[in-house]
Amino acid sequence: QVQPVESGGGLVQPGGSLRLSCAAPGSIFSFYAMGWYRQAPGKQRELVARIIKGGRIIYTDSVKGRFTISRDNAKNTVYLEMNSLKPEDTAVYYCNFEGNSNFWGQGTQVTVSS
């Protein structure tokens, strides 16, 4: 099974920015929804942001106004622009594509620390 390929994680200071990218495992138009989830140590995986077919976008409350999810149809890629990062944003971030099957990326570490 082809897996989404993520990139862009790393270490950043509080208040900084990062952009995550994820290449879809096929044509982006074949998926009903795509998005980003995260899992912090000792916590359950949670939704961060999601784009649903038709254009509806959902953000978890803690990232509203700071994170932006977007897609590039020509590149079959989804992005997560993260600004004003906080230590509590530290987690492994996973991209997800939902269609006839559910595809998860391998995860990329984001660490926000001074």
What pLDDT was estimated at residue 46? 97
pLDDT at 11: 97
pLDDT of residue 2: 79
Copy the structure tokens of residue 9. 């994680």
The three-class DSSP label of residue 11 is strand
CA angle 22, 93, 84 (to 5 degrees): 100
Query: What pLDDT is attached to residue 20?
Result: 98
User: Do 108 and 22 contact (CB within 8 A), yes or no?
Assistant: no
**Tens of each residue's pLDDT in the chain, 114 residues:** 678 999 999 999 999 999 999 999 988 888 999 999 999 999 999 999 999 988 899 999 999 999 999 999 999 999 999 999 999 999 999 999 999 889 999 999 999 999
The alpha carbons of the chain give a radius of gyration, in whole angstroms, of: 13
* pLDDT attached to residue 1: 67
- For 13-75, the DSSP string reads -TT--EEEEEE-SS-GGG-SEEEEEEE-TTS--EEEEEEETTTEEEE-GGGTTTEEEEEETTT
